[in-house]
Structure 1
Amino acid sequence: MKMNFSQTKDERLLAFYENIRRQVDLDTRAGGRYRFAGEGVKQYAERLREEIDRRQLRFIPIDWPR
């Protein structure tokens, strides 16, 4: 599924990504592997990251559990 973020403001794009990063961090601290952030969330975050990279915005990458 192709997501279109072309009309999304930079700040919103970064906020969406940061919310997922925090969610993954909480999952990791809770000891669960993708307890709340499953594969669909990971794919969504990847699309956000691609757009963030395209716009050359600064962000903290998500540290996905292995």
Structure 2
Amino acid sequence: MNDDTAWMMSSRSTGNGGSCVEARRCAGLIEVRNSKSPEAGTVRFTTEEWDSFLDGAKKGEFDKLLAG
């Protein structure tokens, strides 16, 4: 079974010069890239790592990175 998906852009990406993040499932991993520089490469996560990251983001664990 092939569970690969097409690149999906974040709903937070505005498409008008803002930050653009894309993600997809490929070969059992989650890949993330900058849509403005896809040639720069991807960051790859196992599904367990991705689930953990999303859980932390939803809980606000990374909010302190935004504080000036």
Q: Do the structures match in fold with TM over 0.5? A: no
TM-score, normalising length from structure 1? 0.27
Q: Greater strand share, 1 or 2?
A: 2
Q: TM-score, normalised by structure 2?
A: 0.26
